[in-house]
Amino acid sequence: MEETGVIFDIKKFAIHDGPGIRTTVFLKGCPLYCWWCHNPESQSFKLQKIQSKESDLKTSSNFKKEIGRIVSVNDVISEILKDRIFYEESGGGATFSGGEPLSQPNFLRLLLKECKKEGIHTALDTCGYGPMEELKEIVKYVDLFLYDLKFYDSMNHEKYTGVSNKTIFKNLEMLVDLKKEIFIRIPIIPTINDMDDEIINLAEYILGLKHIQKIDLLPYHKIGKDKYFRLRMLNKMENIPEPTKDQMEKIRTKFESFGFNISIGG
Ligand code: SF4
């Protein structure tokens, strides 16, 4: 029987998920629950319903939309192949994101393998949390890792994401040993992970890997705010502001002082 998986979106013509023009496939389900997650609908592994934006709570209208669908490897690959011409012209390809794609290891491996068979460039957008053995199984099919690091401090990582960062660091070090191409992505969240010592510790750790040139700083934004309400999920970020341009520039300068190539916003 053909392998299936659960996705919650396919985004065409994506330009921030790796080089060139890409198709980004969002796999549903994540073992973390980051306070600032702007895709809270990505966290559950189950199909869900969300209150529609069009529905008005003041009236009797209470229309709900389905989130997530079960799809086969062929369904996804045929969607990706429709835009092959754009990948060829722009140096783009397919990106697998989530949720956490490593949480559907068989489905992910088959998707990546099919892309490589078709000569499509592949990127994996991952928080790095998953069994190393499963990560090793897919490494050869991934051209570029977009690897999220959220904290150097393990206790804070656990407090704000639900898991320790030890596995995430070990998996990253394994990819570095294999000399894979890796862009680090760091969400910047005021009062949570933007403190000087946290930034410096993280920068020193990344520098010590002696392999990473590019870091994307991703400013926290409140775009997902209304989704928490519509999913009836608790939003712990009500009182946390978005970082200002000035704050982001100061953090950029700190990372640049370590010699990194920094971009803001991916
Ligand atoms: S790792 Fe990403 S998808 Fe998972 S909870 Fe955190 S921000 Fe959301």
Question: Which is the closest atom of ligand 1 to the Cα of 148?
Answer: 1
163-190 confidence digits (pLDDT tens) = 999 999 999 999 999 999 999 999 999 9
Nearest CA to ligand 1 atom 8: 37
Span 4-49+64-264: which CATH code?
3.20.20.70
Domain ranges of the chain: 4-49+64-264
Query: Residue 203: its pLDDT value, please?
Result: 98
- For atom 5 of ligand 1, the residue with the nearest CA is 33
Q: How far is the CA of 1 from the centre of ligand 1 (A)?
A: 30
The pLDDT tens digits for 102-153 are 999 999 999 999 999 999 999 999 999 999 999 999 999 999 999 999 999 9
What does pTM read for this prediction? 0.95
- Taking the CA of residue 30 as reference, the ligand 1 atom at the shortest distance is 4
- Within the chain, how many helices (H) and strands (E) appear? 9, 11
For residue 123, the Cα-to-chain-centroid distance in whole angstroms is 11
